[in-house]
Each structure stands twice: as structure tokens, then as C-alpha cells.
Structure 1
Amino acid sequence: MSIILKVAVPVPLCQYFDYLAPTSLNNKKLLPGIRLKIPFGQKDCIGILVAVESFSALPIENLKPVISVLEREPLVPLSLLKLLQWASNYYHYPVGEIILGVLPKIFRQGKCINTINNEVSSYDIPHNPLTLNSYQKNAITTIINSRNFQTFLLLGITGSGKTEVYLHCIDAIIKRGKQALVLVPEIGLTPQTVKRFRERFNVPIVVFHSNLTDRKRAQAWVMAKNGIAKIIIGTRSAVFTPFLNIGIIILDEEHDISFKQQSGFRYSARDLAVMRGRFENIPIVLGSATPSLESFYNTKHKNYKLLSLPKRAGKACLPRITLIDLRKKELMAGMSNELLIAIENHINNNGQVLLFLNRRGYAPVLMCYCCGWIIHCNHCDVHLTVHYCPQRLYCHHCGWNRIIPLICPKCKYQTLSDIGVGTEQLETALKKRFPNHNIVRIDRDSTRTKNSMEKKLDLIHNRQALILVGTQMIAKGHHFPYLTLVAIVDADSGLYSTDFRSLERTGQLLVQVIGRVGRVGSKSEVFIQTYHPKNPLLIFSLRKGYTAFAEALLKERQLAQLPPFSYLSLLRAESLNPIFPIAFLSDIKQKILLHNNNIRVLGPVPACVERKAGRYRYQLLFQSKKRKCLHETLTKLTALLPKRYTKVHWILDVDPQETI
């Protein structure tokens, strides 16, 4: 009887490929999860064994034998393999590309794992344990007593001591001889998280994220799989880390959109963490001061258990909040006189100040005051953003850039002017106003070089800089104990998006930014600048808190039958010629509606940025009240698409976080 090997191959097909076991094995058992070198088409490649069977739908004489077996012990543990197979089915993405895609490049190239250095340093740094309040004690006890699968939503206001809860739970898990996985939304949060954990635990801790060298990623993979690393801290891709004996998964800032991959395999690390907890039969902790409406909804329907931390930990106190009406006010780089006076008062008292503006660059628009001409990207339907470091105009979508013109190319007058304010302009203005103070700017532009984020955070924590300027990179998860003033420079920027999630995101961001201040008991303030001081969102979220705000949004979602009260998928098509994606999506819509009355199909409509990198983008939105019905339709859809269309590039986004 022939031994048939089912192999996952990194090709864009949702299927496995059958191979014959090499005769040299002498009936030695092959385990799923090992790597195989196989012939595929005109070349050899690396595949992952997923099953050993005695039957193939193809004639035996048509099957090729495996060239070689690269290891005896699985590189991908069985529980992780099951998760990846489930993800392929749920996200309708080629299973081979998922399984091979999560491996570090070294392993995809077929290199042996015994070439990886397994050495790691452990730390023994004394710490002063904080006194826990009753809410923290209850949360810790509940979590560590849950030894089987259960999802906990740890809803704690900013500064309530969620991290201390994480640390105590992980301590209990490690004492049981198990490992812990901690997921954070941004790479910029990993240094401070690692530092905090190394101050507490004398065990090997490794980091796993996309900015590591491939050798370090491979080393982290091996250390986790072999049980050497007891704590793994990483961003969304770390959800695919293999473990010898995992005991808990903690996902901090669970609401953050960064946990959803926005290209290629568009998975949600939060949802996969919950599913992995189910497969591993371990507790999952989702922490946030501003949980997503989906997670909030799950607590109401008993899918998640809610654990609340309603009070700030230790001596931390809530800040005084002031709304500044910007109407009829003269501004300096977007800052009112009241704000400038407050900044001066706080830094004179040696307090740190954070100015939040979620717009990088110097100015978002360059316009001619004479004829109204505005400079656009040559490849996208967006304005170019003005930057003076270096002095160029940049497209924040495709990266195209050009020099800043001195005269208007349309009317030939020297009347070009910057419109609007970005973080770079804010930093420049503050340097002129406060020349004797260091100013730290944290955004994507200022943290591109290696270790730049860590260096800037060190300046802040060592009080070598009293004025901080930043985008949402600095607004979430960071602990700045000396911060006494937070200013939201433009609170209106997120209020008028057409995306149905925009109000939720804006409310979350406001609460998160405000939560950076007042964490060590000193008197603190928050200034919120707005042209709409009576906006219901601002008033509701500030007066009644995030929980009441989320309750109100859930009622609106239910009336509109939007998630979490329905399920969505987005099919986007793009091409150099706009005719092709429109025709492609119109054809798909017709076929879907012909065979399924339980699916609502919206579109085709152009994407929010219709032309990006020279390609025209259109989309269909699929909506259903039943998840099963939606996925049955998507299964039929993905089987049809690759065979019929070649003039468009298409992507399918299940549970999309951005729908415009």
C-alpha cells in the first residue's frame, strides 16, 4: 500500500498536493508539521506535511515522490497547524501561502534549525510590587483559576493597572511550568513592555515582530517551540508563534486596528488569538480601556466574561478637562493662546506636556492663493503632503515625491502657501516658542531608523525632554509618569468620516490620549481644541465615559444592522483601466444575487481613494445577518474568481475594519 503525503505548498490555490513518501524512509512515521523538499512544476520547493493517508484521488502513477524530509520533529506543532487550516477556511485564503508564510524566511528556504543559536539572557532585577486594589485582585484570581478555554475582557479605565494584572497572571502561569504570549498592537510598544516584564521575571523573554532580522525571528521561533522562552512578546504576527506548553494569551489594547492585517492574508490577530485559545484550551485575556464594540457585544451575550477595573491604580487621579472653542481665535500652528500659556506653566513647573495631532508632515496641502491650484500625486487621487525634513512633497499612499515648487505651475505667481498643520509644523513652532527646551516628536517619519523609538522614549522617561509631539503612535499603551498636560490639537479631525466605525475610533482615541496623563497622582490637565464644542460625541464621551458611549453606539449599530449585528466581507478589484474592475465586480454581483437571497451586495463603488499607485480601485460589500450564509457564498466566490479573470487584481477582506 502506498503512503500518500498531503502537502501544503506556497501557491495561490486553496488545496493540498499529493506526493509519495520517499522509499528511503523504511516505514518511519512522518508527523504533520515537518518540512519536505518536493518537486513542483519545473522547480523544487519547500512544503509542509499536513496529513499522511493511504488514498489519493489521482492515479498513483501520476504522483511524484518527495525529494527529502528536512526534519523528524514538526517545525509547526499540530495545534498551530490546525489554527492555520482554520484561518484558511475562515479568511478564504490559500492554505499553503498561510502555513509557509508564517515561517521565518530561513525555514522557508529549507535551512536546518540546528544552525540557529538558542542562547538567551535572563534577567534578575528587583522590583517593588505595587499594592493591588480589590478590582485587580478579583480579576487576577478569576483568570488564574480558569485553567481551560475562556475569553476575558479586562475593561479597565486608563491608568487602572491592567499591566499589573497581566504580570500577576503570567507569574502564576510560569510557576505552573507553562509559557505566556503577550500581544501588543505596535512595534513601538514592545521596548517598554519588554523592559517592564524583564524587571519582573527572571526567565527567558523573547520578542517577535516584523522588524527583527530573519535570523532573530527564527531564533525566537525555535526558543518558543522548544519551551526555552517562557514569555513571548510581539505584534500581531506573534499569534502564530509555536509553543511547547502555552498557558495563556494576553492581547493588550484589543480594540486597536493594528491587530488587523491590511494586506495579503488579512487576518485579525485578536480573533485568531481567541480561536487559538480554544484549540489550546487555555484562557485568553483581551485588555482595553476602550474595547471594540464587537468585544463589548460578546460580553453581553456571554461569549466573553467581563472583568472591570473602574478605578485608577495607586495614587493616580483623573485629570481636569477643558474644551477650547477655536472659533474666532487666532492660532499659532494650530495652537490657541490658552494652550500656549498652559504649556508654559506646566514646563516651568517641570511637568511634561504631550501635544497630540494625528496628522504627520508639515502641512497636508500646498495651495496657490491666486488661482486655487492644489498639488496632487501623479499616481493617486490625493493631495501631496508638505514636508520640510527633507524639503519635499510626499504622497502618503504610494510614496511618490517631488521637490516643492517655488511658483504656481498654473498661474506662474509666487503665491503658494501651506494649508493645515501637521506634527512637523507643530514641532517647528514649539521650538521657536520654547527654544530652551528639548522637543521630542514621535510619528512614522521620525522613527524610521533603527532604535530611534527607544532613544526618544528614553529622553521622555529620563525627563530630558518636557515637550512631546506625536500621532496615534504615542497615544496608546505608553506610560509617561511625569506627564501633567495633554493637549488634543485638533479634536474634529475624526468626526466626519463616512466609515461607520469612525465614531467608535474617534471616541477610543480621545479616551486613550486623555489616559496618558495623571498616572502618578500629580494634578493634571487635558486641553481639547475644537471648532465644535457642542458636538454630541465630545460631550457624551467626556461626561458619561466610554462604557455609556459604547452602549449608545451599539444601539445605533443595531438599528442600522451593522456589525456586530451583521457580518461583512469586502471584495476589492483594481486595474490600470477603471473599466475592468467595474465590469468584474458587476458580473460577480449579478451571479451572487442570482443564487443567494440572504446576501446583501452593495456596489460596485469606487474606494475612498479611487486611484492609488496608478491603479483604479472599486469594491463590493457583502452583508449578511448569518455568518454561515456569508461564508458559504464566499467559498463559491473564491472557487470561481481565479479561473475567470486575469485583467484585474482582487482581494477579499473578511470582517473588514475599513470599508471606504
Structure 2
Amino acid sequence: MAKRIANVIVDSPIREPLDYLVPADLEIQVGQRCLVPLGSRKVIGIVIGFSEESRFSRLREVISRVDDVSPLSSGWLALTLFSARYYQSGWGQVAIPALPKFFRKLPGKLHERSLERLRKEKKRSVKKSSEKPQLNSEQSAIVEEVQLDGAFYPALIFGITGSGKTEVYLHLMEKVLLRDPEAQVLLMVPEINLTPQLVEKVQSRFPQFEVVSWNSGMAEGQKASSWLACHEGRARILVGTRLSVFASFKSLKLILVDEEHDPSFKSQEGVRYNARDLALKRASIEQIPIVLGSATPSLESYKNALEGKFKLFKLTQRANSNAHLPQLSLVDIRKDKPINGLSQETANAITETINSGRQVIVFLNRRGFAPVVECKNCGWQSTCPHCSTYAVFHKTTGRLTCHYCGWSTPLPKTCPKCGSYELLPIGRGTQRAEEELETRWPEARVSRLDQDSARQRGSASQVLDAVHNGDVDILIGTQIVAKGHDFKNVGLVVVLNTDPQLFSSDYRARERLFSVLMQVSGRAGRDKTEGKVLIQTRYTEDDIFKHLKSQDYEGFAAGELEARRASFMVPFSAQALIVAEGKEISSVLAFLQKLKALAEKIKSPSIRIFEPVPLTVQKVMDIERGQLLIEADSKVEMQKFLNRFQPEALSLKAKGSWYIDVDPLNY
């Protein structure tokens, strides 16, 4: 009788599946998790197939099946395989980390009992259904036209802020869930702080269905419970952030991606995948519809829609017929010079808004008190000893902190270099702005929402609830405040310190700036009274503000796409970034030169290789970093090149580590 051989993937740099003998008394299927020996360790693996022969002469045995959890689907396996190949990683390096920790750790004695507890975990009940708003004609047309019948159907909803994209999502969900008693829906959002409010909204709309969430801020037990509920088909709706694209479903029928333009969908560690792009691939594999939504679509998605690859829908009016688009004005700070960050016109507008009983959002995309502390006497500046960047002053803790490695030290009382007492905070972050706002408007209730204030679990939700309940007069925050919040009483949005992004060397900077300014502007005037937006700038004539004032995303996008086409930048080309790390920048760049020589040797005419250079932030955690940029005429050509390049590159000896970032967003 021929021996049965299981092909198993594990979380290791090994690119090919490993072969293991299956004991005669072990029943195991493709897609099931198993326990296998790897060197001297026992590890979790996933069976991806069986064979009768192996290229290895001596095989070890599968130890056991992990538990009775049903197999991962062929669609899930296909998605993780595609991800591994496209992002130049091992299959197991994608598939195993995509599971919650509970399902990828070695099973203990109480594993089965814990598994049953996860199955019985009670979800929060919702007693009654929330009111269903009446759709306007544009919303109704989208709900009617989106094709939900068993085929891959990519669509992009381009809708102005406040146009009711979420309500369209909910109506599409309803159609799918009510027509099929087993159907499941995935709703992806970019920001963890948006998840609780959105889950609550979805639960109140669909109290008859189990709704779960999955994001990095949840406890491991909650993640495992949500994952299992989706895998076994009990949960009908999953609301999740980036990693939810890898959730396991029994009967997935619709994917929705809100704020599809957001860079948070791109992973910046481990396997550097783009969850929006993988959501599109998953919909293609599963042959189901996928709907992307944004007030400022990514240029990649917008170009796909213009070319007919996505169905394009537009929402041109606010869902609330009483709501008005905000009036946007520029404050020329060359003439109206700011005092403590605010011009006189801006200060007057804040006072007027508060006195009228409405709320103010102040947007400053820089956290901390001051980005650097400087000695007035000798010019010493606060820098991180482990990174090539400044240490930011945080007044709430009295410490200098590096936002890259986390290094922190108390603010020195005297200059470490010359002993002078004249240490001055330079620049302005959200903590400093908060303090200045509290000093200038002592009667106002001021709150701050940024990465620091949102660090504790639930703290962001508390601030957002306070704004919704009218318990905050002025909210100062970073881009967290710009994302998808439906604040009914915000009458004024103030935007500070955007000018540096107008002249960034990053070709995506203007697209990102336009997007975040459009998004934060959209927080104003969402109810009956017209809102106002004030942007402080020295460059009032810049085209970006002309398009913002008229809410003209299409005009802005047309100009950006034409500039990208002329310079052959994404989305009219494809990019990959090779990043090398080591103790000395000279050895890092020398290794990248070897990779460049290899790339030049095997590249086709459609590939362009640039010179190795240090990263913008060259050193992080005492590790020096360099990059080699590769450009191709298309993604297909890039994949052909990388599939030839990487196996040979892996044979080169490096003193440090290196990785490939396909479709990079930052470099």
C-alpha cells in the first residue's frame, strides 16, 4: 500500500511546502491545521495537499491534527498563496500569521475546553433595530445597480464627504444577507478607532444577525472568538481592519472596503501586503462583488474606474438634504501672522463658533508638544541616540521620546552640550496646541485625539463619544479626527501646518495632503447649519487649494494623473523597493550594489534599476538602512523580474537582513 504524504506549509523562510508521512490512523484533510516536527521543534502547519511521492528520501511523520476545527477553504488557501507569490514571501509566512494567535500556537492540555468556550462566547445583544434612513435618488440607484449575483464585480463609489456611503453599504448588506440565509459580508475599515462606532451601527441595523469585529486592538481571546464565528458561519458580518482580509469565512458573498484610499491598508512590517488589493483578489477568487468607497479615491482605483476595470458610481450630494458642504477659506499667514499658531482670523472664528454653541476641530498632523528641543546658546538639538531623527518633547510626561524606536528620557534641565538653561521647544505638536487652546479659551472644553491619547484601550472611543454627546467644544487632533466620523455639531474645522507637504520629495505627498484635507474638511456642516473650514498657509495660490475650495477631486485627480503619466510614475508603472539593513551603512550600500549588479544582469528592457541610497530615516534602533528602487512598465513585468531575481539574490551573502516591498507607499 502506497504511503500517504501530506504537503504542509509552516511559518518559516522555507518557500516550498514540506513533506510529511501521514500515520495510517490519522484522518486529516486539505486545509486543516496539524502539528509537525521542524528541526528540534514542534510547530503548527497547514495541509495544502497530498502526494504519493516526495523529492526527499527520509520523511518524518505528522504528529497529530490540532483540533476538530473544519478545514480552511480552498479560496482562503488560494488567497494566501497568491499573497506569498506576489509579495515575494513564503506561503507559510503569510498563512500562519494570518490566523489568530490561539489557532497558531501549540495546543495545550486545555485546548479543547478553550475552543468550546470560544464557541459559546456570548456576543453583545441589540434589542431593537435602528431606524433605516430614506435613501436619496443617487444612493438608491447604486443599491439597485450593483450586481450581487455570484460573479466578480468590482465597483468604486466616489462620494463627497457626508454623501451617505455607509448607508449604501448597509443596504447592500441587507440585500445579500436576506436573500441567502448563509451569506456573510466583510466590511473593511482602515482605522482601528472607527471600528467600535461602525460595529455598533451595523449591530443596531441588523439585530437578527451576529456581527463581530477583528482588529489589532482586541484581546487575543476576542480575536479568536470572532475568527471562529466567521469560519463556522455563525457570524454573518465581520467589521475589521487590514488583517481581516485574511479572515476565514464559510460563505462569503460580499466585500466592502471603506476609505479605500487610506495608506493604513498597506502593512509596513512582516509581509508588506496591501489589504485593499488583496480584497480585490479575494473577491476575484471567490467570484463575488466588491465595493470600494471613498471621497478621495486612490489614483490607482480612480484610474481603474476611468478605464472601465471598476464600475464607477458617484454620490454628488450630502445624504442629509439639510446639510451643506462647508465653506472653505484660506488664511494667508504671510499677512495675518499667527500668534501661538493661530492667526487673528482663525482665533476670531473659533470664538464665534464656540459662542454659537457649535464645536471646533483643530487639525494638526503632528503629535507631541514640540518636534524638537533646541539650546538657544549652542544650538544643541534633541535627537534620538539610536535613530537618525529628532526626539520629540512630550510635556504630559516631561520626556523626550523617539517616535521610531520608542527610546525615551526625561527632558534635561540644562543643555547636555554646554550646560545652558535656555532650552526651547521648537515647533508645535498637538499637546502644545492643546495647552495653547486651553489658555486662550479657558471656559472651553478642550480634548485631544492622537496616537498618544488613544493608546489605552477604549480611550479614543471615550473622546469620540464626548464629541458626539456635545461634551467637547474644541477637539485638537491628528489625522485620526479626519477619518469617517459623523459629527453633527461641528461648525468649524481649522487646519494648521500643511505647507511642508506641498513641497515634499515624495511624489504621493500631494495626493495624501489633498485626501486628508478633503476628509477633515468634511467633518464640518454635516447637519442643518453650514460649516466653515479655515486652512492656514503661506501658499494660497497653490492649485491644490483651488480644487479643495470647489470640492473638485476629479479636477485634482486629472492633474495628478497627467503629471504621473508624464513622469512615468505609479499608476502608470510598477515599483518594488529592496531594503537592506545592517550595522554599517557602507556594508548595507555595498550589498545593495551587488543586488543592483545582479538585477542589471537579468533585467528586461521594461525594468529600470536605480542607484542604492540610504533611506530617508537612515538609522532606526541602531540599524542602518538603505534602499534599491526597481521600476517596471507594469505589475506583470515586475512579477516576472522578481520571480527570476529573488532566488538568485537569496544566494548572495549579506551581513545584515533585507526584504522586498512590492508596491511600496513610503521610501
1:285 alignment partner, SS class = strand
- Given candidates 59, 63, 66, the residue that maps to 2:59 is 63
More displaced 10-residue stretch of structure 1: 541-550 or 205-214: 541-550
The CA deviation at 1:73 is 5.2
Q: What code does the residue aligned with 2:5 have? A: I
Deviation at 1:416, TM superposition (A): 1.7
- 8 Å contact 2:336–2:345 — kept in the other structure? no
Structure 1 outlier segments of 4+, above 3 Å: 71-75, 110-115, 144-147
CA contact (8 A) 2:147 2:153 kept: no
Structure-1 residue corresponding to 2:116? 114
1:43 to partner: Cα distance: 1.8
Q: What root-mean-square deviation, in Å, do the aligned CA atoms of Structure 1 and Structure 2 show? A: 1.5
Alignment of 1:151 onto 2:154: yes
Is the 1:440–1:468 contact (alpha carbons within 8 Å) kept by the matching residues of 2? Answer: yes
Q: How many Å separate the matches in 2 of 1:524 and 1:244?
A: 45
Structure 1 residues 376, 20: CA separation in 2 closer, same or farther (over 3 Å shift)? Answer: same
**Structure 1: stretches of 5+ with no match in the other structure:** none
Alignment-derived partner of residue 49 in structure 2: 51
Matched-pair contact (CA < 8 Å) for 2:497–2:536: yes
Spell out, residue by residue over 1:237-296, the C-alpha distance to the aligned partner (whole angstroms, 9 max, x if none): 011111111111100000000000001110000000000001111100100000000001
Equivalent residue for 1:257, pick from 263, 272, 278 = 263
Q: Does the CA contact (< 8 Å) of 1:125 and 1:198 recur in 2?
A: no
Change (3 A) 1:72 1:204: closer
- Partner of residue 434 from structure 1, selected from 432, 436, 441: 441
**1:443-592 pair list within 5 angstroms:** 443-543=450-550, 545-592=552-599
- Alignment of 1:223 with 2:229, yes or no, is yes
- 1:482-511 deviations in whole A, cap 9, x for unaligned? 111001022313212111111110111111
Contact 1:155 1:307 in 2 (8 A): yes
Separation in structure 1 between the aligned mates of residue 212 and residue 602 of structure 2, nearest angstrom: 50
- Offset at 1:116? 2.0
Indicate conservation of the 8 Å contact 2:362/2:475, yes or no. Answer: yes
Letter in structure 1 aligned against 2:637? C
C-alpha separation between the residues in 2 aligned to 1:304 and 1:553?
Answer: 20
**Which deviations, in whole Å up to 9, do the C-alpha atoms of 1:12-71 show, x marking residues without a partner?**
12110001111213xx5x321101111111122111000012221222xx0111111224
Q: 8 Å contact 2:158–2:297 — kept in the other structure?
A: yes
CA contact 1:32–1:74 (8 Å) conserved in 2: no
Counterpart of 2:90, as a letter, is P
- CA distance in 2 between counterparts of 1:72 and 1:457 reads 41
Task: Kindly indicate whether residue 179 of structure 2 is the aligned counterpart of residue 173 of structure 1.
Answer: no
Q: Name the CA shift for 1:162/1:544 in 2 (closer, same or farther; >3 Å).
A: closer
Does residue 334 (structure 1) correspond to residue 341 (structure 2)? The answer is yes
Aligned match of 2:144: 141
SS at match of 1:335: coil
The whole-number CA distance in structure 1 between the counterparts of 2:466 and 2:104 is: 40
2:34 aligned to which of 36, 50, 69: 36
* Counterpart in the other structure of 1:77: 73
Task: Trace 1:56-455 onto structure 2 (pairs within 5 A).
Answer: 56-59=54-57, 62-71=58-67, 74-111=70-107, 112=112, 113-118=115-120, 119-176=122-179, 177=181, 178-202=183-207, 203-314=209-320, 315-455=322-462
Q: What secondary structure sits across from 1:101 in the alignment?
A: coil
Deviates more, 1:620-629 or 1:143-152: 143-152
Deviation (angstroms), 1:626? 2.9
- Local SS of the residue matching 1:23: coil
Aligned partners of 1:74 and 1:571: how far apart in 2? Answer: 38
Which runs of 5 or more structure 2 residues have no equivalent in the other structure? Answer: none
TM-score relative to the length of structure 1: 0.97
Query: Quick one: which amino acid aligns to residue 664 of structure 2?
Result: P
CA contact (8 A) 1:22 1:66 kept: yes
Any conservation in 2 of the 1:479–1:516 contact (CA below 8 Å)? yes
Amino acid at match of 1:306: L
Task: Tell me if structure 1 keeps the 8 A contact 2:328–2:532.
Answer: yes
The residue aligned with 1:624 is: 632
* Aligned mates of 1:480, 1:148 — CA distance in 2: 37
SS in 1 for 2:218: coil
Q: Which residue of 2 aligns with 1:14?
A: 15
The Cα of 1:144 is off from its aligned counterpart by 4.9
Q: For 1:185, what is the secondary structure of its paired residue?
A: coil
1:558·1:565 contact (CA, 8 Å) conserved in 2? yes
Q: Is the 8 A contact 2:495 2:534 kept in 1?
A: yes
Question: 2:627 matched to 1:615?
Answer: no
Instruction: Give, as a single letter, the amino acid of the residue that structure 2 aligns with 1:18.
Output: D
Deviation (angstroms), 1:536: 2.3
Helix, strand or coil for the counterpart of 1:169? helix
Quick one: structure 1 residues 146 and 157, their matched pair in 2 at CA, closer, same or farther if it must change by over 3 Å?
farther
Corresponding residue pairs, total: 654
Residues 358-401 of structure 1: CA deviation (Å, up to 9, x unaligned): 00011112112233222211111111111101001111111112
How far, CA to CA, are the matches of 1:363 and 1:328 in structure 2?
A: 25
Contact map agreement 1:333 1:425 (CA 8 A) in 2: no
Contact 1:144 1:169 in 2 (8 A): no
2:25 is paired with a residue whose SS is helix
* Alpha-carbon distance between aligned partners in 1 of 2:602 and 2:411, rounded to the nearest angstrom: 54
CA distance in 1, matches of 2:341, 2:73: 54
Give the distance between the partners of 1:262 and 1:154, measured in 2 at CA.
Answer: 27
Q: Is the 8 A contact 1:31 1:72 kept in 2?
A: no
Would the aligned equivalents of 1:190 and 1:233 in 2 still touch at CA under 8 Å?
Answer: yes
How far residue 310 of structure 1 moved from its aligned partner, in angstroms, is: 0.9
Partner Cα separation in structure 2 for residue 153 and residue 124 of structure 1: 34
Contact 1:602-1:621 within 8 A present in 2 as well: yes
